[in-house]
């Protein structure tokens, strides 16, 4: 089976350097599916989808709802709908991974809603990494349709942790630092409540705008450290080894899944995050903790959350069951299912 993967981004231009697509391509090809554009960075934006029509069976789409955020984004989003129709006319199988309920940015919101509606209702296969994705999808579906849920895959990185280091960081926050993640709101909440001196907080990741840099720098103290840089795996492993807990402050309605969350669990770090999407799913499996709001978060911290430990055996089983290889096997079985209308 020949698959076209979207997007293939230029790593030199990527802010987040998210390895998800690279890992996805690798696991698909290990399971007897071929990605025809794996070494080709698109030069023509969304038009690149049409260049492979003659040799592609399946189009696998990720983050298409973010098209309005790109250069000439509203044009690309409108053109995508036209291309989608062409692909359906050519009877190509279309798979959409619904990573978020809607794009985190509100730019071009109407086009994003239209794109999501089209993908949800007319893709041959809709996948999601959160049960919230199924609940959300059922609201927009015009007729009953199967949405496939599978946890975001992860690796086992537990051997990379240095257990000899002191746990001198109470709370670690890491990953690309964007407004929707609510880190500035959390620090403002801490400062206003007089709690900014109660915890050693280390924040690391590339901040996406100068405005956000200026805002976050207002909260830097001897207890709150901010590293505005892309974090390497070596640096992250070192910080994980020093941290009692990893916090995700994601704000907003849009979040379904998080690669950073799964990366953190892969090192057996204790995690707390908002009670939404994959965070809620994993809390229900007793693999992490969640909070309703920042008041609830502080309450949990004051009641000994920093001293809680993971159920190591339960996490080992989860990691084994949700490996990238198992994910690839699951995908290729779905994609090769002849009962799927194409």
The pLDDT value given to residue 39:
79
| pLDDT, position 193 | 82
Confidence of residue 338 (pLDDT cuts 50, 70, 90): low
Q: In this predicted structure, what is the pLDDT of residue 342? A: 41
Write the pLDDT tens digit of every residue in 186-210. Answer: 999 999 887 778 899 999 999 999 9
* Max avg pLDDT among 11-15, 35-39, 145-149, 221-225: 221-225
Query: How do residues 216-253 score in pLDDT, each as one tens digit?
Result: 999 999 999 999 999 999 999 999 999 999 999 987 66
Task: Indicate if the pLDDT at residue 321 is higher than 80.
Answer: yes
CB 157 within 8 Å of CB 234: no
pLDDT exceeds 80 at position 262? yes
Quote the pLDDT of residue 19.
86
Question: 14 falls in which pLDDT band (50, 70, 90)?
Answer: low
- 142-159 tens-digit pLDDT: 877 889 999 999 998 887
Domains and CATH numbers, the chain: 2-153+323-335 (3.40.50.2000), 158-320 (3.40.50.2000)
Decide if pLDDT at 326 tops 60.
Answer: yes
Which of 4-13, 305-314, 325-334 has the lowest average pLDDT?
4-13
The residue among 271 and 65 whose pLDDT is bigger is 271
pLDDT at 319: 94
What pLDDT sits at residue 72? 84
What percentage of residues in the chain have a pLDDT greater than 70?
Answer: 95
CA distances from 77 to 43, 59, 278 (A): 16, 17, 27
CB–CB of 83/49 below 8 Å? yes
Give the pLDDT score at 104. Answer: 65
* Distance (Å, whole) CA 34 – CA 38: 9
Specify the pLDDT at position 11.
58
pTM of the model: 0.89
């Amino acid at each position: 089976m020949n698959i076209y993967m979207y997007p293939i981004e230029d790593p030199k231009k990527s802010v987040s350097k998210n390895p998800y697509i690279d890992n996805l391509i690798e696991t698909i090809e290990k399971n007897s599916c071929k990605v025809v554009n794996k070494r080709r960075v698109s030069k023509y934006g969304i038009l690149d989808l049409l260049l492979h029509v003659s040799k592609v069976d399946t189009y696998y789409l990720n983050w298409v709802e973010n098209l309005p955020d790109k250069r000439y984004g509203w044009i690309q989003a409108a053109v995508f709908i036209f291309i989608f129709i062409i692909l359906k006319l050519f009877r190509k199988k279309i798979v959409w991974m619904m990573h978020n309920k809607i794009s985190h940015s509100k730019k071009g919101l109407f086009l994003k809603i239209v794109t999501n509606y089209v993908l949800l209702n007319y893709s041959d296969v809709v996948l999601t990494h959160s049960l919230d994705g199924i609940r959300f999808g059922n609201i927009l579906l015009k007729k009953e349709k199967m949405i496939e849920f599978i946890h975001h895959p992860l690796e086992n990185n537990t051997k990379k942790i240095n257990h000899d280091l002191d746990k001198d960081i109470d709370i670690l926050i890491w990953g690309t630092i964007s407004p929707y993640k609510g880190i500035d709101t959390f620090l403002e909440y801490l400062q206003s409540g007089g709690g900014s001196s109660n915890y050693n907080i280390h924040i690391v990741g590339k901040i996406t705008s100068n405005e956000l840099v200026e805002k976050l720098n207002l909260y830097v103290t001897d207890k709150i450290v901010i590293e505005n840089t892309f974090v390497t795996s070596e640096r992250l492993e070192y910080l994980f080894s020093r941290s009692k807990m990893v916090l995700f402050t994601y704000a907003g309605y849009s979040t379904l899944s998080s690669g950073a969350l799964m990366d953190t669990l892969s090192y057996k770090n204790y995690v707390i995050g908002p009670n939404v999407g994959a965070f809620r799913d994993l809390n229900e499996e007793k693999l992490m903790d969640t909070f309703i709001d920042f008041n609830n978060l502080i309450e949990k911290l004051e009641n000994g959350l920093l001293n809680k430990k993971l159920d190591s055996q339960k996490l080992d089983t989860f990691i084994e069951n949700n490996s990238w290889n198992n994910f690839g096997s699951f995908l290729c079985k779905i994609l090769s299912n002849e009962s799927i209308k194409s």
